[in-house]
Chain A
Amino acid sequence: MAHDKSQPTKEALRHKVQMTQEKIDRYGKLNGDDDILHYDHDYAVKRGFRGTLAHGMHNMAPAVDLALEKYGKDYFYRGQISVRWTGPVCPGDEQVTVLDADDNVVATVDNVPGKGTATIMVGKSTLRDK
């Protein structure tokens, strides 16, 4: 199962998704970009990455879903999300995204050479004027 949701505590919501090149390609086909960082493994490695990069906005999508799960209808009218990408998600990575009780977002991937678990995105997904 590439896409799994669970609620490990009452406070935090968690989302897991497995990244593949096929998924990067599918998002890129819709997104309409042609940046070779997403498709050319050798170029990405030359730029210092482990492999091709998933699109940052693709990585952000689980944080929107988690906030929708938490806030429902209000998020469509008052939703606020801000994220900073701190690392890449590459094919083979499992991205785990957590929305905590204070609406902080942290997304990580495991098994990064030399790092183990690496944080790839931090931010906030909340309501305006909450």
Chain B
Amino acid sequence: MTRPAEVKVLEGLTPGTRFDQFEVGAKMNEVRFTITPEIIDEYIKAVEGDEKLYVVDGRKAAPPDVLCVYMTSTLYQKYPPIQGIIMCEVAFGYRHPIWRDESTEVRLSGEVTGKFVKKARKFIQWKGRYKRADGTLLAEVENTFSVPE
């Protein structure tokens, strides 16, 4: 089992990354983690999910958005976060269920795709891909967040 905190760099542990330090085009290292039935249960409780929705052809699955709690791991390992980051936009494309009756090793990688300033706020954009260890694509993500400075 990998708890998200095990693969994320926490806010406050380092000085954090300033806006001008993000490099567009920079590739993030692949982060590996294992989503277990216990993590899925904890996620469903945390978001008060509706258990009956997470079934595919009679087999229990995880809510696809369980991947959210690992999302920033690859980004934060390359660019440790500063306090006060605000999520602005996110897009997920789900491609395959994560089964609830087994542990799933996931590999997440990504790259910084953009940075810009709008109305005096500073924004970073990046995208990532979640794959199972066997290469099966689980989901793709694109995210925009603002950095306080």
Tally of contacts, chain A with chain B, CB under 8 A: 129
- Contacting B at CB under 8 A, from A23-63, are 23, 26-27, 29-37, 47, 53, 55-58, 60-62
Q: Which residues of A lie under 8 Å from residue B85 when comparing CB positions?
A: 35
Q: Is the CB of A32 within 8 A of B95?
A: no
Q: Is the CB of B43 within 8 A of A76?
A: no
CA A18 to CA B101, docked complex, whole Å: 30
CA A31 to CA B47, docked complex, whole Å: 11
Q: Which residues of A lie under 8 Å from residue B87 when comparing CB positions?
A: 55-57, 85
Query: What band does the interface of chain A fall in when counting residues whose beta carbon is under 8 Å from B?
Result: 35 or more
Q: Which residues of A lie under 8 Å from residue B93 when comparing CB positions?
A: 79-80, 128
Q: Which of B18-26, B63-71, B113-121, B127-135 contacts A (4 or more CB under 8 A)?
A: B63-71
Question: With A33-B11, A34-B12 in contact, do A77 and B65 touch (Cβ < 8 Å)?
Answer: no
When C-beta atoms are compared, the residue in chain A nearest to B96 turns out to be A77
The residues of A with any CB-CB pair to B shorter than 8 Å are 2-3, 5, 17, 23, 26-27, 29-37, 47, 53, 55-58, 60-62, 64-65, 68-69, 73, 75-85, 128
Question: Can you sample 20 A-B contacts with CB below 8 Å?
Answer: A3-B48, A17-B48, A30-B42, A30-B69, A32-B3, A32-B8, A33-B10, A34-B10, A34-B11, A35-B81, A36-B12, A47-B84, A57-B68, A61-B63, A68-B63, A76-B56, A76-B64, A80-B92, A81-B92, A84-B89
